[in-house]
Amino acid sequence: MSPGAPSADETAAPSLRSDAERNRARIIAAARTVFGRGGLNASMASVAREAGVGIATLFRRFPTKEDLVAAVFADRMDAYADVVTEALDDPDPWRGLVGIIESVCAMQAADYGFADVLTMTFPTAKTLEQRRIEVYHSVVQLIDRAKAAGRLREDFTPEDLVLIYMANAGVVNATGHDVPDAWRRVVALMIQSYQAPARGPLPDSPEPDALYRAMLRASQASFASPGPPERHGGT
């Protein structure tokens, strides 16, 4: 071997790293497809099949399903944050809030996986959860502004926004194949019901801690389940 020429080990290492990175990208792309059409109940085995890798390779790259979810939906959470930032810049806070609801519900309708992400919580996915918290505080600001402007009913709470996403996810999952735009009517009805002046009192809002437990239970149930047959026909 000539002086200065790389050894076999040195040339092999970059190749191994390159293969690992290709596998990681392939797995993320596959998971985006599988979760997008089947929601988070889809199994890790189905992701491995879609990616064309062994299940052991998948778990080397992503030791837990939460790790994979965090990687797959990081860009979706960024897009959600961008929607909220744009809404905060709107001089009409009610229009901004409506824009958030409509845009995010449309994102749910287009991606079953993201529909699930917004109705669950993932304590070990620190970056994803931190992003969610940042967005939450921005939305609270907008809710307060819309109330101050007299456009949003006073008894609306941030937890109601979570309930909207939960309700929309249910409608999308139930009707996505046969009536793909049904969610639009349901969301419009909910938006109109929250507009001021209120047309009547509402039952008490869920306690934040109780709603968090419900979201956590949903994520635990989803990750524990082997997954139902995959749904098809999302918009």
For 7-56, how does the pLDDT look when each residue is reduced to its tens digit (9 = 90+)?
Answer: 544 444 455 577 788 889 999 999 999 998 888 888 999 999 999 999 99
In the DSSP assignment, the letter for residue 178 is T
Q: What is the pLDDT of residue 3?
A: 56
H helix runs in 90-207, sequence order: 93-110, 112-117, 126-148, 158-175, 182-194
- Per-residue pLDDT at 146 exceeds 90: yes
Domain boundaries, the chain: 10-63, 65-224
CATH T-level fold of 10-63? Arc Repressor Mutant, subunit A (1.10.10)
d(CA 195, CA 151): 6
CATH architecture of 65-224: Orthogonal Bundle (1.10)
Taking CA atoms, 158 is separated from 57, 125, 135, in Å, by 40, 22, 11
Tell me the one-letter amino acid at 235: T
Q: What is the pLDDT of residue 53?
A: 92
pLDDT band for position 215 (cuts 50, 70, 90):
confident
Fold equal for 10-63 and 65-224: no
d(CA 172, CA 111): 9
pLDDT band for position 59 (cuts 50, 70, 90):
very high
Apex CA 186: angle with CA 157 and CA 140, to 5°?
A: 20
Q: 87 with 147: CB under 8 angstroms? A: no
Apex CA 26: angle with CA 58 and CA 61, to 5°?
A: 30
pTM score of the predicted model: 0.78
Q: 143 with 152: CB under 8 angstroms? A: yes
